[in-house]
Amino acid sequence: MKKMKKLLALLLALVMAASLAACGPSEESDPTGSPAASGQPEQSQQVTASKDGVVAPITPEELGSGTVKWSEEKTADGWYKVTNQGGATLGYSKDSGVSLIQVDGFAFKDLDRDGVLDGYEDWRNTDEVRARDLASQMGVDEMTPLFTHGGWRSFGSTIEGDDLTYVQEGGRGGVTRSAINEGNTTMAVDWTNALQALCEGTGSWGIPATISVDPSHISNTIDQNSLAATMSKDEAFALGVEHGKQYRAVGVTMLLGPQIGIGTQPTMTRATGTFTEDPALGRDLADAYISGLQSTFDESGSDLGWGEDSVYAIAKHYVGDGAPEGGRNDHMDAGKFDVFPGNNFAAHLIPFHDGAFNLSMSSTKECGVMPNYAISYSRDGSLGELVGGGYSTYKMDFLYDNDYQGFILTDWQITNDGQQCFGVEDLTMTERFAELYKSGCHQIGGTADNAAAEGYELVVDELGEEEALKILRNAVYHFVLSQFQCGLYENAYISLDNAIDTVWNNDTDAAAKEQQLKSVIMLKNSGSVIAQGSGEGKTVYVPYQFTPASEGSNASSGSTAASWKPVVDLEAAAKYFTVVTDTLKDPSGEPDEDGNPTYTENDIVRATAAQVGACDLILMHMDAPNQDSAQDEEGNWLPASLQYGEYTADNARRESLAGTVTTETVNDGYYGTKSQDVKENRSYAGNTVGRDKNYAQLELLQYLNGIKGGAKIVVMMSKASGPSVMVWSEVEPLADAILFYYGSTSWFFEESLLDIVSGKVEPSGLLPFQMPASMDAVEAQDEDVPRDLECYKDADGNVYDFTFGLNWSGKISDERVTTYSAEPLTTPATIEFHYAE
C-alpha cells in the first residue's frame, strides 16, 4: 500500500508538470505571478507539450533580424553577457560550443546545439515546464549520473582529474568548501567559470554544475547556535538574504543545510550545527532563514521568488537526529541509533513540516531535504524498519504522504561499504542504490560511482522498465528543477568585481560584528561588573595560557608545537583598557626537528598578586568542555562529559535502549544448542572518562581566583563545536561575570566580546538550550524531549534555563522570552502525525 501511494504521488507530480507544460505560463501555474509581473515578456507562440511533457520546439528567426531586443558584451571575466530587454540576462562561453538563437527578437542559448528553441531553453516558460521538458527527453545513460552528488576537488583555474571525468560521464552535482574561504575569492571565480564552461560544452544538453557547500562562516557570519541565541526571525531572515548573495557571489547555488533538527539530547555531538532544542524556535528560524536564502529580492525588498541571489536549501537531517543515544556522532557506527524514550518523535518533525516545508516569508514555498544517517530505534516497529533515514520506508513515505514536492538529497556515502549504510550493511552497493531509487530519493550524496546505473537496472528487473523509468525521470526532474529555480540555465557564470564587493571585505566585517554582538549571552553579572560605560578608565589583567605540544589527529594535520599565548588578544584589549599581562621568556625546551627551541611551562613570568589585585578586571577566555561517548581500547563504552574534571557515570542507564541484534548459537547444558537473538548493550554505566583536553584552562581560572584580590573575573566562554551546553558548577563560582557565545576565535571577533565587557554594547542574547545542573541531570532526562533538564542555578539565584539571559538591568524579560518560554510543542500543526503501520 505504501509503495502504491508513493508511485501515485510520483505519477501525480509528473502529470502536474506535464499539464503545466501543456497549458503554458499563467498566473495560476507560475508562483512568481504572470510573465509581466515576473519581469518576463509575453510569448508570441503558445507552449504546447506532448503527453510526456516534451514541449514542441520553436523554429528561430535569423539571428539579428527584425526588431532585436538583446545586446551582447564580453565581460572582464571572459564569458559573454547577453541582456534581453525586459527579459532574462544570459551568460555563456563561446569556447563551450553553445551559440545564441533568436525568437521574437529575444536571445536564447541553444544549449543542445540543435538549432531550435527547445522548451527547457526558453526562459519564458516556468521552471516546472522546463525541468519536465528536459527530463522527458534524456536517455537512461544520461540520467543515471545525475543521481549522484560528489565532491569537487580540482579547485583552480582548470578542471582536471576526477572532476573532469565526472563531468564527462554526466555528473553535475558536487560539494566544495574552498570557494567560501577567505583569500580564495579570485580563485573561486576562475574555478566556477571554468567548471561551468566545461559543463556547458560537455554532453548533449548543456546542463550546468550545481556547486554545494555545508553551512559556513563565510565573511565571518554567525553560526546556527549563535543565530538561535538572538531568538529573532528578523535576524534569521536577514542572515538568509545575506548568505544568498554571498554564496552566489562565489558560485555556490545549493546549501547543504541548514541543520534544523531539534537538539534534545544535551550531549549531542553535532548540536552546535543546529539551531536549538525547542521545536517552536527551530520552526521559526528555519522558516525565516530559508525564506531569506531562497528568495531573490529587488532594491525595495520585494520578493521576486527564485532568482540570481537564490540558494537552494537542503534542510537536514530528516528526522530525529537530535536524539542520539549517548549523544554520539551518527557519522560513525557509534552513533547509529536515535532513541525516543519520551515517545516524542513527532516533535522532531515540527521544524521541517511547519517551518522548512511551509515557508511563510518566501514565495519559494518549500525547500529540499536531507534524510539522516541514523536509525530511529523502536522495538515495536512504530518508527519503521531499523535502517537509516534514506532507506526508511516510514520516513520517506511520511514525506510523500504529506505532499512534499521538494528535492531529496541523501547524506554522504550511504551507499558505500563502511560506517554510514546503517541497517543495510548486508546489501551490495548496487543494491543500496536500487533501494534508494525505490524509496523516492532524488540524488545520492558523496558519491560519483557508476553503481547508480547498475542500481537502476536492478529496479528495472524488479519493477519493470516503465516504472523504473518514471522513478528515474522524476529524480532527474527534481534535480534540474532546483537548477532552473536558481537561474543556472540562463547564467551560471560569476563576476570577480561582484564577488570582491560581496564577500570578505570591510563592509561584511562590520555586518558580521553586528550579528555577533546580538548573539552573546550574559549569564552572570554579580555586582553589575558589566554596565553601560563600565570599562572607561579600567585596568585589566590578561594572563597567558600554556598549550602543550600535540600530535595531529591525522596524517595531513601534523603536530602542533607547545605555545604560550595571552587568553585575549593584547592589541585588541588595549583599545578598551589599560592592560597588565605576564612576561614571556625565551623558549627553553628541546629543539624541534628544524632546530628551533620550544616552549615549556616554565617559560613565563606571571604578574605578581599585587599587580593583579590592583587591576579592576581579570579577563579569562575559555573553551567549553566536551568529550564524546566512545569506546576505549578494550571495547568498553565511555560516557560523554560536559565538565572539565573526570566523570564517572554512576547514574547512567544500565542497559542501552538501542543496539545491534545478532543471532548467537548457545548450549544451555540441558537441551543442546539453540539460536537466540542477542541485543548489543552500548551502556557506559559505571565507566569513567578522564579530564577534558581544556582542563588546564580551569586550573588557570582557579589560580586567578586565588590571587585576584579586589579584581573581578570576567569569563568569556566559547562553545564552538560538540554539544551546545556545559555543566557550569566548576566555573561559575569562580567568576564575577560570564559571557557565553557560540563561536570560535578563528572567526568570532575579539572586539565583539570586548564591546560588551567594556559596557559599550548591551548584551541581548538568550540561551537556546537549557544548561544542566550536573551530569546526573543529563543522565536523568529523555533523549528526545526538549527542555526536560534540571537546570543549573548560580550564586545569584539565576537559573540557566532556556531563554535565560541578562542585560545591564538584569534578567531579560521581553517578547522573545514570552513567546518561546511557553510549553514545548509536541506535534506538527500543518500535518497529521502517524506512527508506522
pLDDT digits (tens, 9 = 90+) for 186-204: 999 999 999 999 999 999 9
pLDDT for 837 equals: 84
Q: Which amino acid is at 73?
A: E
Does position 16 have pLDDT exceeding 60, yes or no? Answer: no
What is the C-alpha to C-alpha distance for residues 176 and 218, in angstroms, rounded to an integer?
13
Cell numbers standing for residue 82:
547577453
In the chain, the percentage of residues whose pLDDT exceeds 90 is 88
Which residue is associated with the grid cell 523509468? 469
pLDDT for 34 equals: 31
Question: In a 10 Å sphere around its CB, with 0-12 CB exposed, 13-18 middle and 19+ buried, how is residue 54 labelled?
Answer: buried
Question: In a 10 Å sphere around its CB, with 0-12 CB exposed, 13-18 middle and 19+ buried, how is residue 546 labelled?
Answer: middle
Q: Write the Ramachandran bin of 78: left for phi over 0, alpha for psi from -120 to 50, otherwise beta.
A: left
pLDDT for 18 equals: 47
127-137 and 2-23 helices cross at what angle (nearest 10)? Answer: 110
Does position 253 have pLDDT exceeding 50, yes or no? Answer: yes
pLDDT for 29 equals: 34
pLDDT digits (tens, 9 = 90+) for 809-825: 999 999 999 999 999 99
Does position 35 have pLDDT exceeding 90, yes or no? Answer: no
* Stronger pLDDT, 97 or 45, i.e. the higher one: 97
pLDDT for 592 equals: 87
pLDDT for 347 equals: 98
pLDDT digits (tens, 9 = 90+) for 739-748: 999 999 999 9
**Torsion angle, CA of 631/634/639/645, rounded to 10 degrees?**
-110
End-to-end CA distance of the chain: 11
Can you give the pTM of this predicted structure? 0.94
- The per-residue DSSP string of 481-494 comes to HHHHHTTTTT----
Cell numbers standing for residue 260:
534544523
pLDDT for 677 equals: 84
Which pLDDT band holds residue 552 (cuts at 50, 70, 90)?
Answer: low
**If you average pLDDT over residues 126-146, what whole number do you get?**
98
pLDDT digits (tens, 9 = 90+) for 395-434: 999 999 999 999 999 999 999 998 899 999 999 999 999 9
